[in-house]
Amino acid sequence: MGEVYDVIDTNGQLIPRVGVVLGIRFSRLVTPEWAIGLATQNFGMGVNVAYGPVHCQNPKTGSQGLPRDLAAEYIVQHAIDADVPYIFFVDDDVELPYGACRHLMQTLASSDDDVMCAGGIYVTKQSSPEPIVFSDISLGVNWRWKKDTVFPCELIGLGCSLWKTEVFRRIEKPWFRDVDTSTLSCTDDAFFFAKMKLAGYKALADAYVLPVHWDYETGKGYKLPDDSYPMLPSGKEEIFKNIPPGWMSIPELTWLSDQAAKHRRIVELGSYLGRSTVVMARSTPGEVWAIDDFKGVRDTQFFNTDVPILSDTFSQFVANVQSLPVKSIRADHADYTAIPLEWLRGQAAEKPDMVFIDGSHEYPDVKRDILAWQSRLAPGGLLCGHDADWPGVRQAIDELLPGWQTAAGVIWSYQL
């Protein structure tokens, strides 16, 4: 749709002009995730794309082909020869997120004339991954940025980057070189970014585009942890600092933090190691009452290798909430004998104004928790909980709380 034609062949047929060469340096079989990521991309209406895969050398896979730096030069030269205005480099281990190509096109097309590159940010393949983006090449990687922003950089990974072809016409070869000598070591992309900087041109890091970086030997995909600085909402860094492990996502915790800031008497049913407890306690002007038997997880579907599965969590929970405005009650959620008397007397000023339910996810248990605590909320209080996608939870809230809303992720909410 909307193809641009500016060439007529010898038979009088209109030939669509190519707007982007998609240069892929490949040296191995790719993952299904990588293939799907590429197949679902588009560059926007009216942009025609030519695919330019180039076979590269790879000692680990035994692949024979061009050295990777020369493969990049080969792609660039053919784009110049064909008068293609843009080049999009994609490495065979970098999985593109949906909408990556179009967003980079928008970023680069709307930038200043001296900006020649816009790239997505992916990470190193190691246990503590680092973002491959540099504001100053001599000072190491740049951590001081936020997702869903665009900012200047001196160097970004070539494996998900869009370029104006004109920059290669203006800078002499060689463009890309892997250098490893006794006095100098640099990768092929760092080599050209340095030449581009000397020529007075700029690059942008597009943190709306955050690809996954695959290690094919281990089958693991690497990305920034949700609790790393770039992924945390602005202003929440201290609230999320060193929070305990758990299953609640950063967007869900952000919503809980925002709600806790508006409430003073918060009850949490089911706390485990205190991930959500800590966030709410750091956010509220009041206090959090954590009610749990602290006997660990019984919903086995929650098993996750990143979260320790413990049968007694109380001592760890207490350590995690130390010095925070948290009071813990080690009891069953519906045990009236363990509940402060003022919550049962019915005086609105003494009742909780927010209850967060995240205990058992079985229908009878969720129903019991809702019935037991809905009446204990102050008028206008917030009743909410986690895992609205669980059948038992969904059945209970559909039955008891008509008009409930999805708040963030799989958190449900109901305002009295």
Say yes or no: 138 and 242 in one domain. no
Residue 351 included in any domain: yes
User: In terms of domains, do 206 and 252 share one?
Assistant: no
State whether 52 and 155 are in the same domain: yes
Q: What is the CATH number of the domain that holds 48?
A: 3.90.550.40
Cα–Cα distance for residue pair 318/331, rounded to 1 Å: 15
Residue 334, in any domain of the structure: yes
Q: Based on the structure, what is the number of domains in the chain?
A: 2
- Please report the pLDDT score of residue 226 as a whole number: 86
Write down which residue in 164, 198, 222 finishes a domain.
222
**What confidence tens digit (pLDDT) does each residue in 126-158 have?**
999 999 999 998 899 999 999 999 999 999 999
Dist. CA 272–CA 317, nearest whole Å: 7
**pLDDT for res 1:** 33
In degrees, rounded to 5, the angle at the alpha carbon of residue 112 between the alpha carbons of residues 110 and 115 is 100
Rounded to whole angstroms, the Cα distance separating 138 from 176 reads 19
137 and 189 share a domain? yes
- pTM, two decimal places: 0.79
Final residue of a structural domain among 222, 250, 283: 222
Q: Is residue 229 part of a domain?
A: no
Q: Kindly list the strands in the beta sheet with 405-408, ordered across the sheet, starting from the edge strand earlier in the chain.
A: 326-330, 287-292, 265-269, 354-357, 382-385, 411-415, 405-408
- Does residue 103 lie within any of the structural domains? yes
Q: Which two tokens stand for residue 23?
A: 């240069």
pLDDT of residue 279: 97
Are 368 and 275 found together in one domain? yes
Asked if residue 326 and residue 200 are part of one domain, the reply reads no
Cα 201 → chain centroid: 29
Same domain flag for 250 and 115: no
pLDDT of residue 18: 84
In a domain, 39, yes or no: yes
How much is the pLDDT for 32? 92
Does residue 44 lie in a domain region?
yes
Domain, as residue range, for 260: 234-415
Give the model's pLDDT for residue 133: 98
Asked if residue 109 is part of any domain, the answer here is yes
315 and 211 share a domain? no
In a domain, 20, yes or no: yes
- 199 and 250 together in one domain: no
- Are 241 and 313 in a shared domain? yes
pLDDT reported for residue 312:
84
User: What CATH number is associated with residue 354?
Assistant: 3.40.50.150
Based on the fold, state whether residues 240 and 177 are members of the same structural domain. Answer: no
Same domain, 154 and 278: no
Structure token digits, residue 378: 């102050």
* Domain C-terminal end among 169, 189, 222: 222
Mean pLDDT by 10 residues, the chain (416 residues): 42 67 92 93 87 91 91 95 95 95 95 97 95 93 96 97 97 92 82 96 98 93 92 92 91 96 95 96 96 79 64 91 93 67 60 93 93 89 96 96 96 94
pLDDT of residue 299: 65
Per-residue model confidence (pLDDT) at position 8 = 43
